[in-house]
Amino acid sequence: MDIARYPRLRRLALLTVALAAATPVTARAQGIQSGTSITLADGQVQGHLNGAAREFLGIPYAAPPVGARRWRPPVPNAPWAGALDASSYPPACAQLDALTSDGSESEDCLYLNVWTPDPAPAEPLPVMVWIHGGGDVAGASGNFVPFPPYESYRLYDAHNLAGDRGVVVVSMNYRLGVLGFFGHAALTGEDPGYPYAGNQGLLDQRLALEWVRDNILAFGGDPANVTIFGESAGAWNVCAHVASPGSSGLFHRAISESGGCTVGIATGAESAARAADVTAAVGCGGAPDVLACLRAAPVAALLDAFGDSELDGTPISIDGAFLPAHPRTLFDRGAFSHVPYMLGFNSDEGTLFFIGATPLASPAEYTAALTARYGALAPQVEAVYPVTSFPTPQDAFVRVVGDATLVCPTVDVARRVSAAKNPRTYVYNFARVIPLAFVNILDLGAFHGAEIPYVFNSVPAPNFFDAQLGSRMQEYWTSFARKGRNPGAAKSAAWPRFKERPWRMLRFDAPELATGITRIKHFRRAECEFWSSVYDTIE
């Protein structure tokens, strides 16, 4: 029967289709798959069990950015034949040796990892997508814990977080340094469809988020409830995605641990100038086809020419595409993704970067160090951080650098986002001094990155981490990922929303201490208000 000839039947059929589309169906019918063999549109993925989680490592999300694709925006990978063995972490993207990771010359590195509970959930679970740190010049999703005696443990191993907390966790590698943030002017004229240069690593992350949107349901994750979270450069990158109009809709909550993108962002001209210096250093400055010459250059030569800029900020730039304007401007205009946003910092962010440095021995050396770093601004900095307020001149300088580059940029983002009427903004201070001998010997305090194993539960208790503190933090993080508001943990303090006044946040310390998980006000307020007032003048 030709239904088009019978309008009433045709309307009834259309109504039936519409009702079917609106009627809730079980998650399993929508595509959640059981076991360690998952079938995706690209092919079959064979994972394995790890504790209470199913683990899938090294899944490609983009075509290898090699040859003519070096420095181009990423494109999806080709399907594969047979079952993909997803039992090993992917190779780290090309980078120099760094404090927390070994060097690599691999360009075929755009892979991601997935952890999901076992057995498969009946309904889709919140998804947490991790972006690793390393100054955007180093790091990888498979980094090992960088301190003894736990070097055999993976720092971002999420099998406990996923298996114990009922979330799906994804981590990815992305292009770094000279291969991931290369703003050569010639790239802007190469592709009329994308006349921009730089931020290739951020575009990799965005493509990974698109992969999550399209594939995560098969693993039991809810593509409509995605939290992006990251530490250090990962926190900057999370912040950049919040600011970027092109990333809007790919995530629904955000967490930045120790880093904010309103500071340390290069202009397009600065990025192009740095790329020109690299070009000259590898002998391509006078080449008839500069990009062809650069694409033929050895990875090692490019890495050496670009150098390591981890402490001085990030190579992210205002490229006109991913970032059409400075993040400060976008936040102040309210032109960003108004999603629930959690941000935080550790009390002693600067100490890790001064291991082995010759300490400043006198107030005069402290003044000279401030002048070398901040120029004419140094007297104002010294007034906010008088040397007499610290045990030593070195302690004063370490605090200045930690606050200026990590603590206060994080708070600066929270201030701007909150002021733009983003009501679900939350800030934390991680103050726990890990009870390990080397932490005390080196006087690291609550150092940069110390919160990560607590969040992931990636290092065994009780010898290293306080199991109770880790459990509470995992509850807060996953509670935030689940509902995006009023993050909480059983028998712990409620998390106040952050506002510039009264400057409230939650402190994480050992639960058995009086300063355990508590609400605090005004912490580092004078220091961060000072830095927010001068950031425009020191960039």
Domain ranges of the chain: 34-339, 361-451+495-539
- The more confidently predicted of residues 285 and 100 is 285
The C-alpha atoms of residue 324 and residue 465 are separated, in whole angstroms, by 42
Supply the pLDDT for residue 462: 59
| Cα dihedral across residues 195, 200, 206, 211: positive or negative | positive
Q: What is the mean pLDDT of residues 423-449?
A: 92
SS3 content of the chain, % helix, strand, coil (to 5): 40, 15, 45
> CA 319 → CA 135, 183, 188, 336, distances in Å?
18, 8, 10, 16
| Residue 448 a catalytic site member | yes
Q: Which of 107, 310, 349, 527 is catalytic?
A: 349
Question: Residue 416: is its pLDDT beyond 70?
Answer: yes
- Chain segment 363-394, per-residue pLDDT in tens: 999 999 999 999 999 999 999 999 999 999 99
Confidence of residue 232 (pLDDT cuts 50, 70, 90): very high
pLDDT of residue 99: 72
* Amino acid (one-letter) located at 363: P
Mean pLDDT of 408-430: 93
Q: Say which CATH class 34-339 falls into.
A: alpha beta
On the question of pLDDT at 521 being above 50, the answer is: yes
CB atoms within 10 A of CB 313: 20
**Cβ 486 vs Cβ 471: under 8 Å:** no
Catalytic residue among 101, 171, 232, 458: 232
How far, in Å, are 190, 278, 292, 296, 297 from residue 289 at the CA level?
12, 15, 5, 11, 13
List, edge to edge, every strand of the sheet that includes 53-60. Answer: 48-50, 53-60, 111-117, 168-172, 125-131, 221-231, 253-257, 341-346, 425-430, 504-508, 518-521
Residue type, 366: Y
pLDDT digits (tens, 9 = 90+) for 276-313: 999 999 999 999 999 999 999 999 999 999 985 444 56
> Does residue 15 surpass a pLDDT of 90?
no
> Does the active-site annotation cover 48?
no
Annotated catalytic residue, options 159, 184, 241, 448 = 448
Q: Which of 422, 354, 458, 440 is nearest to 146 (CA)?
A: 458
303: enclosing H helix or E strand: helix 299-306
Q: Is 256 a catalytic residue?
A: no
Identify the sign of the CA torsion 165, 423, 231, 431: negative
Measured CA to CA, the distance from residue 457 to residue 465 in angstroms comes to 9
Kindly report which listed range (23-27, 425-429, 463-467) carries the lowest average pLDDT score. 23-27
